[in-house]
Structure 1
Amino acid sequence: MMLNAASDTDLRKRLLDEAPRAFAPNPAGVPSLPDREAFLRRLDMSIRMAERQRSSFAVMLLDLGPTEDPLSGLAAAAAALRITVRLTDTVAWLEGRQFAVLLNVANEEGATRVGGKIFEALSEALGEAAGREVRAGMALYPGHGKSGDQLLRVVNSALYQASRGRKGIVMAVLAEGVLPEVRETLGQRFGMAIEQNEFVLCFLPVVNLVSGLPVGVEALARWRHPDLGLLPPAEFMHLATNESALEGLSLRLLDQALLQIRNWRERGVALSLSLNFAPVLLAREGLDQLILARLQAQGLSPECLTLELRDEGLAVLPASALRVLFSLASAGVCLTIDDFGRGNGSLLALRDLPVQEFKIDAAFVSKVCHSEADAAIVATLVSLGRRLGKTVIAKGIETEEVRQKLRSLGCEYGQGFCFAQALPAQELEDWRDQRMAADGARQTVI
């Protein structure tokens, strides 16, 4: 159904009034997705986060096109969308043959690039003929609107234009002067940005799934671009095309992380901190001593730091990288396998590397309530971790239902939007204080 936003004064209210409460019971067997009500909540949350962080995001409204069977291709389209977008993006089913997507992108170029990938994935999933019938409208926050109502009205209008003109994707026209003109490409500015310390850290809490209290944080890089606001790693990490740039950025982020640990410790905030390190840097001769020296300079013990290692590529680490990892582990630095289960060498890495933790990939966690296979995989990994004496952390927990399911499977720790998004240091402290205060009040009542 084509929504006529131009005739609605409050499209969000209309969407809520018409929204089905759940998508899972759909007889077409479509994978469970957020419904319209959940999508609107996430849209509002994205606006609040973007306003606070001076960042941008895109809204995409998709219509699969008319067909004799309205359920035809829905399951394939839903699966293709979820596989194509990033974990930080949101895919929702609205009704009929319409989907909506929230994309964490910085600008129109990024939105168009991701939109193209989505169309390619849908064409492959639905077939070339059906893929040609897909239409989409896109809009950017804050350029096309600073409220949910404005964005939905604009993106719906763009979808209408795409359908009327039989075009694939139509991007809404930017209002003149709303967004600043970007005179430098991200690539041209990348090196300067490292030198000028434009890269900062936000912190994603890791919580005890029983108490809901934070036990640690994962430090995530953001680029505080002077024109584009706060950019996520997906928008800039590919610009580190040589090891020198990647090493320079990684070491500066490490320094920021260690300084933050020291500041927290001095104020009595005992949180462990993990930081991703690119596998290509692990082979750098002397990296272990470089990291240990930085810890010592801040007056921190090695146990304060956890290095996260991406699952992909761990099975083919060179001997020099293995020496670095064993040296760091023997000194007390904790090593974690990130996105465990995604790569081919997960079990070999768990067996052969000196890791103390692993994080279950969000692809398994997100479907644990609706897929017996995923639930069995998660339960097996939790049991494996317990038998090997490893700490197991579930990634991508977005709902209380998933949290409770993980608890029933024996998983003790997790992270995800169910608890909090990645936050700046002060906001993370405020969030922690609120959780601690709420727990104290609960204990008092008990």
Structure 2
Amino acid sequence: MGRHSLDQHRLGRDGLGVNEQTRIVARICSLAGVLAVGSLVTTLALPHPGESAIASHWWVLPLLTIAFAAAERSVFHVEFRREALSFSLSEVPTAFALLYLAPGPAIAARIVGSLAVIVFEWRSKWFKLLFNSALFALETALAYHVVQFAVEHWHGSRVVTLLAIVPATSIATIIGSIMVSAAISFVEGGFRHRLISELRLSTWVAPLNATVAALVVAPTLIDPWLVALSLVPLAAFWGVMRSHGQLEQRFRDLDDLHGFVGRVGHSLNVQEIVQAAATEVAALLRVRRVGIVVFGTEDGLRRNDVGKPLPNLPTSADDPAWANVFAATTAVEPPGLGAALAVAVRDGEGVVGLIVVAEREGAQDHFRITDRVRLATLAEQFTPNVRKAALHEQIDHEARHDSLTGLPNRAQFERQVNAALKLPASGGSGQQVVMLMDLDRFKEVNDTLGHHAGDAVLIDFARRLLGRLQPGDLLSRLAGDEFALLCKRDSDGIKELADQLVEEARKPFSIDGLEVVVTMSIGVAPTTAIDLDAASLLRKADIAMYAAKHNHTGFEMYRDDIDRRTPARLAMLGDLRNALEINGLQVFLQPKLDIATGIVTGLEALARWEHPARGWVSPEDFIPVAEETGLIKQVTDQVLGTAVAHLHKLQTMGHHLSLAVNLSTHDLLDDQLPERVMRQLNRHDVDPALITLEITESSLLIDAPRARATIERLNEHGIRLSVDDFGTGYSSLSYLRHLPVSELKIDRSFVSQLLFDEQDEVIVRSIIELGHNLGMQVVAEGVETDEVLNRLRGFSCDIAQGFGICRPVPVERLVAWLNTTHHPSRRADPLNVDQWSVRGN
């Protein structure tokens, strides 16, 4: 049996100002005034305003007043989300009043009895009391009009009067529904939707309730004391109906709780789950304001609010003001929020978050014990979902980020670059570029101080880089000591940023009380229209970065002329393969001069390639191609075989010289290198002691154990080892002195500036002294003038080599040079002590 009063409606909305609240109250009071006037006019217009249908005793009035109060008190509610259906017995005392009271006393009994409960039980506001009083009066007056109209037109029999009660109370109930809908729409809007919903229910419930009321009052027409026959079954029916309603309510609540898990757990995104949970909690607990916070996710604190945000919610589980809430096992009142409830979201691992609700609406505007239990249950249901989503976010974050520095990893960086490449070009100056950064000498830090020191360097280095970036820049750690950056700058800004980053890397890192210094090389690849994905940009940046390493420039911009994988390079690869098949590589020889005696004691073999179309191709162009494609072994074997053959030829002509041949890093890592070398020496009957294999300083650090094993095996065969370009790499002296190296070659960059740069002079003198102290022979390459040669003689350098002595030439021209130069060759076999002489004939 539906009720139609405002005593159970909040009539409030979030964020209402004082002025708006005043206007709403004024509208409700205006409507109440209209209803009051309408009830007065309706009452005065009754045909018999002072008569009752059946005469009764005086005590009927207070009895029915009590009955109206009891009917109001016996209301029960069935709530579903934010809607509430209320049921009462108010039609029964109304039916008795239509029979046994005059209109005036009936209206008074209805108002006094009902309002007494509303005032003392529900403590409704004054404007609600005013509205309900006017509504009760109008409903009762309208019911009397229907009854008196039926009595007048159908001759007033008691049966007619009894039957008239059904439409009378039905019409009064429907009119009441319309008026309550209008009052609620003043606040919440949606009058049409609410009216249709109310009429859909009232049009069949109201006649049903009125019929029950008529059946209850019918026995009293025979004898008033027969009312007991009606009230006893009515009470039993009402009890069953109330129990059924409460059971129905519990089933609805249980269904809502089960549905809550499905509606909240549909996503693995923490923010989406928190948002869905806040909306569901607001609906299930019938509240206007909800605040949910989740602590400690990958993106920090997560919060979502329904309605006006609740103030002063905690940002962590350590907030002392909320300690009681976090310690409680059920929902409790939170600090400083008044009529609200809060519950900690927790599991076996600790507190996950918090749910706070306030401003209950629906049938009752205050929180009950059942609300506390329900909120705690919702929190329990919410916990596994948010934990699962947080775990998924953590796994997803770890899959996309570097665990050491927290930066995006290679996969995430490539996704972001690919996404940026697909975006239309934005206005403004600047071009997107990818920078590839690699720390030099980082391996030394790991090998010397341990991996914990290396990790500390990487973490501090990442922090330094981030401090130099702008919003919108994307920094990533790709692997090891390799970082990448996506940014947008103009040409000057790119160079300025690259310089700044290089300088940041050069600043000392403090590790365990030690200052560690590393350097960095950067390759810069600007985006172009032909760059379709991140892989092509990273490849270009990698090429530029290795160019920066090779040239010791700090950073290099990508250019086609340094790209070894351009169509021209691919064509070179095919031509080089063809040249190797026909033994098309030539070997030029450059003399090496004993500085003290002026005697030519050795030669260096240098590979040369005369291309049929391109002419002479520099080794700097074709050797890297051979190294990248695996042809380097063939190149080394062919150069070594030809050079040994030339050496044997010179020996037969009386020139007893040594031979130096350059090795690639790839050769040094080949386990079969000693066998390859000995095969060539045996073929031409050349003693291994005459052979010196030159290896670069940096190649010693690549797979050091494997390189050392190869070097030691070569030494066992009597082959000498020389470290080429010494002073430009990063080899460790402690490592170098344990290798069977017999010669150091000073890089030409130091020798060529010997007379003009004091620092280069100091470096050259230091290397010579270092080599001698380690028992090694020292060779200076790049000697172009007699002045440089004389300065080296003053430094006690052993061997000189350079254009100032002789350029690399074919073997035939070398023989001619040896026969005409004032630098005689060694004519005695250096391996035969008995034949040795300082100068040969």
1:327 maps to which residue?
713
CA spacing shift, 1:241–1:297, aligned 2, 3 Å? closer
Secondary structure in 1 aligned to 2:631? helix
Shift of the alpha carbon at 1:284? 1.5
Equivalence for 1:226: 612
Equivalent of residue 381 in structure 1, options 748, 767, 775: 767
Does residue 1:265 correspond to 2:651, yes or no?
yes
Do residues 240 (structure 1) and 635 (structure 2) align?
no
Question: How many angstroms does 1:411 deviate by?
Answer: 1.1
SS in 1 for 2:737: helix
If asked which structure has higher relative contact order (CA below 8 Å, sep 6+), I would say 1
1:137-176 equivalences in 2 (<5 Å): none
Q: Does 1:341 align with 2:742?
A: no
Residue in structure 2 matched with residue 357 of structure 1 by the alignment: 743
- The one-letter amino acid of 1:200's match is Q
What amino acid sits opposite 2:707 in the alignment?
A
Contact 1:394 1:411 in 2 (8 A): yes
1:310 is aligned to 2:696: yes
Q: How many residues align?
A: 270
Residues 414 and 286 of structure 1: is their aligned pair in 2 closer, same or farther, counting only changes over 3 Å? Answer: same
The residue that corresponds to 1:168 in the other structure is: none
Q: Secondary structure at the match of 1:393?
A: strand
* In 2: Cα distance, 1:187 partner to 1:289 partner: 27
Is 2:820 the partner of 1:416? no
CA distance in 2, matches of 1:186, 1:436: 41
Partners of 1:437 and 1:372 in 2: how far apart? 30
| Maintained 8 Å contact 2:592/2:602 | yes
Bigger Rg, structure 1 or 2: 2
Q: CA deviation at 1:348?
A: 4.2
Q: Specify whether residues 244 and 439 from structure 1 end up closer, same or farther in structure 2 by C-alpha distance, changes over 3 A only.
A: closer
Q: Give the AA of the match of 2:778.
A: V
Q: Which amino acid aligns with 1:332?
A: G
Return the alpha-carbon distance in structure 1 between the equivalents of residues 664 and 620 of structure 2.
14
Separation (CA, whole Å) in 2 of partners of 1:297 and 1:439:
25
Secondary structure at 2:646's aligned position in 1?
A: helix
The one-letter code matched in structure 1 to 2:814 is L
CA distance in 2, matches of 1:359, 1:438: 23
Give per-residue Cα distances to partners, 1:289-341, cap 9 Å, x unaligned: 22123212221211121100011231233433221110111211010000001
Shift in CA distance, 438/223, structure 1 to aligned 2, threshold 3 Å: closer
For residues 340 and 436 of structure 1, the distance between their equivalents in structure 2, rounded to whole angstroms, comes to 30
Structure 1 residue 434: Cα displacement: 1.5
Give the structure 1 partner of residue 669 of structure 2: 283
Whole-angstrom distance in 1 between the partners of 2:732 and 2:818: 32
Residues 23-70 of structure 1 deviation map (CA, whole Å, 9 limit, x = unaligned):
xxxxxxxxxxxxxxxxxxxxxxxxxxxxxxxxxxxxxxxxxxxxxxxx
Give the CA deviation at 1:262.
1.2
Do the aligned partners of 2:600 and 2:825 also contact (CA within 8 Å) in 1?
no
1:9-408 superposed matches below 5 A = 185-242=571-628, 244-345=630-731, 347-408=733-794
How far apart, CA to CA, are the structure 2 residues paired with 1:307 and 1:374?
26
State how far apart, in whole Å, the 2-side matches of 1:241 and 1:359 are: 23
Residues 359 and 241 (structure 1 numbering): CA distance in 2 closer, same or farther, change over 3 Å? closer
Give the CA deviation at 1:238.
2.2
- Indicate the structure with greater helix content: 2
Structure 1 residues 316 and 239: alpha-carbon distance in aligned structure 2, compared to 1, 3 A threshold? closer
Q: Is the partner of 1:313 in helix, strand or coil?
A: helix
Task: State the one-letter code of the partner of 1:337.
Answer: V
Q: Distance in 1 between matches of 2:782 and 2:708?
A: 29
1:374 match: secondary structure: helix
CA distance in 2, matches of 1:430, 1:346: 42
How many angstroms does 1:259 deviate by?
0.9
The alignment-based identity, stated in percent, is 30
Matched position secondary structure for 2:821: helix
CA 1:345/1:438 → structure 2, altered by over 3 Å: closer, same or farther?
closer
How far apart, CA to CA, are the structure 1 residues paired with 2:685 and 2:554? 54
Deviations 1:229-278 (A, max 9, x none): 33220121122154631111111111111111111112211111100010
Cα displacement string for residues 55-108 of structure 1 (whole angstroms, at most 9, x for unaligned residues): xxxxxxxxxxxxxxxxxxxxxxxxxxxxxxxxxxxxxxxxxxxxxxxxxxxxxx
Q: Which runs of 5+ in 1 are unaligned?
A: 1-116, 126-181
DSSP 3-state at the match of 2:574: helix
| CA pair 205-278 structure 1, distance change in 2 beyond 3 A | same
CA distance in 2 between counterparts of 1:410 and 1:309 reads 23
Cα 1:438–1:258, aligned 2, differ >3 Å: closer, same or farther?
A: closer
Unaligned runs of 5+ in 2: 1-546, 556-567, 827-837
Post-superposition Cα deviations, 1:154-174, rounded to whole Å, max 9, x if no partner, equal xxxxxxxxxxxxxxxxxxxxx
Secondary structure at the aligned position of 2:782 is classed as: coil
Provide closer, same or farther for how the CA distance between residues 401 and 387 of structure 1 changes in structure 2, counting only shifts above 3 A. same
The AA in structure 1 aligned to 2:581 is: E
The 3-state SS of whatever aligns with 1:339 is strand
User: What code does the residue aligned with 1:341 have?
Assistant: G
Q: 1:430 is matched with which residue? A: 816
> In structure 2, what is the Cα distance between the partners aligned to 1:385 and 1:318?
21
**Cα offset for 1:286?**
2.3
| Residue 124 of structure 1, CA deviation | 10
Contact 1:358–1:392 (CA under 8 A) maintained in structure 2: yes
Rounded Cα–Cα distance in structure 1 between residues aligned with 2:627 and 2:711? 24
RMSD: 3.3
* Greater shift in the superposed pair: 373-382 or 199-208: 373-382
Q: Contact 2:600–2:823 at 8 Å: present in 1 too? A: no
Does structure 2 conserve the Cα–Cα contact (< 8 Å) formed by 1:207 and 1:414? yes
Conserved? CA contact 2:782–2:802, under 8 Å: yes
Residues 416 and 239 (structure 1), Cα distance of their counterparts in 2 relative to 1, 3 Å cut: same
* Conservation of the 8 A alpha-carbon contact between 1:209 and 1:403: yes
Instruction: Answer whether contact 1:243 1:281 (CA < 8 A) is retained.
Output: no
Q: Distance in 1 between matches of 2:739 and 2:661?
A: 18
- Cα deviation code 1:329-386 (max 9, x no counterpart): 1211010000001101063453132110010111211121122222122112111222
306 and 188 in structure 1: CA distance in 2 versus 1, 3 angstrom threshold: same
Q: Runs of 4+ in structure 1 displaced over 6 angstroms?
A: 437-440
TM-fit CA distance, 1:210: 3.6
**Does 333-342 or 245-254 show the bigger shift?**
245-254
* Residues 332 and 366 of structure 1: CA distance in aligned 2, closer, same or farther (over 3 Å): same
2:680 aligned partner, one-letter code: R
